[in-house]
Amino acid sequence: MYTATSFKPRRCILQKLGTTPYEAAWEIQRSLVKQRLDDPSLEDTLLLLEHPPVYTLGTGSSTKFIKFDPKQSEIPVYRTERGGEVTYHCPGQLVGYPILNLRYYQQDLHWYLRQLEEVIIQVLKHYQLTGERIPGLTGVWVNNCKVAAIGIKVKRWVTMHGFSINVCPELQGFQNIIPCGIEDKPVGSLQQFTPGISLEEIEAKVIEIFSKVFEIELI
């Protein structure tokens, strides 16, 4: 067991990628996961970025939650290996893809999902916003509006995909889907509750809180 004086936090490489096409970020994730499956001693990585407009579906997502023909869409639509239903990414939304080896944390997917939610809840608390969990669902809500979505994939305890926080996006794209398959709860943004909030300040706060919640050193 570690003592207070002997504990040394695990190091995690931070990559701020700016606006990155979904397919490019997806390939980066796959490459990072493969490297860590081949060599588990490699340090973890946290990717933070925005995407141009894109719709993504989880492995088992139903197309009944899409209100348009994906084959006729001007906005790309990808089916991915993550869990969860259809969602929408666009500028003004902070996306985080942690590539973590859970063997160094806890080999428990429920723990991991709750940790990601906790990061977001603590970020919101800094802005006097109460982030809420809803039993049986994954994500974070403010005043019954979903402001953060989570969808992950874990292979041999190495994670990919992750979370998205609606900071100041245009929300119209969500009207073309039933986000995460939830029909009775609207999607919202932090800007609705804290006018003038910027993605840059939320990104900085996510970096700070992520390192605390996961007890890691971001480098």
pLDDT in tens, 8-34: 899 999 999 999 999 999 999 999 999
Centre a 10 Å sphere on the Cβ of residue 23 and count the other Cβ atoms it contains: 12
Q: Is the pLDDT of residue 1 over 50?
A: no
Q: Is 83 annotated as a binding residue?
A: yes
Domains and CATH numbers, the chain: 10-213 (3.30.930.10)
- Taking only the tens place, the pLDDT of each residue in 146-198 is 999 999 999 999 999 999 999 999 999 999 999 999 998 899 999 999 999 99
Q: Is 110 annotated as a binding residue?
A: no
User: 12, 90, 168, 180: which one is catalytic?
Assistant: 180
What pLDDT shows up at residue 155?
A: 98
Task: Write the CB contacts of 37 (distance below 8 Å, at least 6 apart in sequence).
Answer: 155, 156, 158
Q: Is 180 a catalytic residue?
A: yes
Q: If pLDDT is split at 50, 70 and 90, which confidence band does 6 have?
A: low
Q: Is 36 annotated as a binding residue?
A: no
pTM: 0.95
Q: Is 163 annotated as a binding residue?
A: yes
- Taking only the tens place, the pLDDT of each residue in 160-170 is 999 999 999 99
Task: Measure the CA–CA gap between 208 and 202, rounded to whole angstroms.
Answer: 10
For residue 5, count CB atoms less than 10 angstroms from its CB and return exposed for 0-12, middle for 13-18, buried for 19 or more.
exposed
- Taking only the tens place, the pLDDT of each residue in 87-130 is 999 999 999 999 999 999 999 999 999 999 999 999 999 999 99
What pLDDT shows up at residue 165?
A: 98
